[in-house]
């Protein structure tokens, strides 16, 4: 295992331990609203500090792009951190949330870890070395038929007024043409479920780089496809993502081409 990936796993476990401890007293957490359906709590901040502290013990010269503290440092090595993906779930005691950590070197994501502290599952990947779940190699499913596929999604919330119409059109088509749709509420974990074959595809809009960086690499190392809704490579910048097995990815893109065009305001 690469040394950077090993440190990322240690940092993710440290943050996960913080989240589990604080989950025992959810009613005592201080919660602030950042935007519509967008919250931050003491747990988010404490978990982020745990990640940064762990990394700095090993790599004090590295930089960070973290959800709560923003950009700090100046280095070719940037740690992209979501200390608690699924904050709303967490604050309600709904057991679907995770820690997501990626390492970007000279502009390219090279390592990624997503940790589910409830199930104690570590999803991890290094570029060119495959994807793993708890040290077992994982691959995307072999599903090729859209009507048999289970698809994940996330509802629009940052630009819901503009995106809800075309999104609902896309959701209707996917519902009618697949085996089912799930919306667990933690995008980084959803991406890993695609990588592990638990989902056959996934799409969402309005995400951030820290939601997508680790999971995107894990999917690719597991043999899947991940891109922007329009097939572009800039999904970390736009926050719009479509991923899945090769056949399911292509099937969703074709099925929902009109809605995707509307979501991207290209009508």
Q: Which two tokens stand for residue 108?
A: 């390219």
pLDDT at 156 over 90: no
Task: Kindly indicate the confidence band of residue 160, based on its pLDDT and cuts at 50, 70 and 90.
Answer: low
* pLDDT score, position 34: 63
Predicted pLDDT of residue 124: 98
Rounded-to-integer distance, Cα 5 and Cα 112, Å: 7
Residue 192 vs residues 93, 148, 175, 187, 200: alpha-carbon distances, Å = 21, 20, 21, 9, 11
**Domains of the chain, each with CATH number or no CATH:** 3-135 (3.30.540.10), 146-263 (3.40.190.80)
User: By percentage, how much of the chain surpasses pLDDT 70?
Assistant: 96
Token pair recorded at residue 191:
């991406």
Residue range 128-141: mean pLDDT, rounded: 97
Distances 29 to 3, 38, 41, 63, 217 between C-alpha atoms, Å: 34, 16, 6, 29, 33
DSSP state of 120: T
pLDDT per position as a tens digit, 25-74: 888 888 877 665 566 778 899 999 999 999 999 999 999 999 988 999 99
- This prediction's pTM: 0.94
Q: What is the reported pLDDT for 112?
A: 98
Assign 51 to helix, strand or coil.
helix
Average pLDDT over residues 247-264: 94
Residue 180: its H or E element: strand 180-182
With beta carbons less than 8 A apart as the criterion, state whether 113 and 214 touch: yes
Model confidence band, residue 226 (pLDDT cutoffs 50, 70, 90): very high
For the residues 161-183, what does the mean pLDDT come to? 92
Q: Tell me, what's the pLDDT at 38?
A: 60
Tokens of 67: 């959800």
Mean pLDDT, range 67-94, rounded to an integer? 94
User: Quick one: average pLDDT of 69-88?
Assistant: 95
Query: What average pLDDT does the structure give for the chain?
Result: 94
């Amino acid at each position: 295992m690469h040394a950077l990936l090993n440190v990322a796993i240690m940092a993710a476990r440290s943050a996960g331990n913080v989240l589990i401890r604080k989950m025992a007293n959810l009613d005592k957490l201080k919660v602030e609203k950042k935007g519509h359906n967008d919250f931050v709590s003491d747990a988010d901040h404490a978990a982020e500090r745990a990640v940064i502290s762990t990394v700095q013990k090993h790599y004090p010269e590295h930089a960070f792009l973290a959800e709560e503290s923003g950009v700090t440092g100046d280095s070719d090595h940037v740690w992209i951190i979501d200390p608690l993906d699924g904050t709303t779930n967490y604050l309600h005691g709904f057991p679907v949330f995770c820690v997501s950590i990626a390492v970007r070197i000279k502009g390219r994501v090279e390592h990624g870890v997503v940790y589910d502290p409830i199930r104690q599952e570590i999803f991890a990947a290094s570029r060119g070395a495959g994807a793993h779940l708890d040290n077992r190699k994982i691959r995307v499913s072999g599903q090729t038929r859209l009507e048999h596929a289970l698809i994940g999604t996330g509802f629009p919330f940052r630009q819901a007024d503009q995106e809800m119409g075309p999104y609902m059109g896309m959701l209707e088509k996917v519902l009618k043409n697949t085996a089912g749709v799930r919306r667990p509420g933690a995008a980084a974990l959803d991406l890993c479920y695609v990588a592990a074959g638990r989902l056959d595809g996934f799409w969402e809009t309005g995400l951030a780089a820290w939601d997508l960086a680790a999971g995107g690499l894990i999917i690719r190392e597991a043999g899947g496809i991940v891109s922007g809704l329009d097939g572009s490579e800039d999904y970390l910048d736009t926050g719009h993502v479509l991923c899945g097995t090769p056949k399911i990815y292509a099937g969703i893109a074709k099925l929902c081409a009109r809605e995707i065009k509307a979501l991207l305001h290209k009508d």
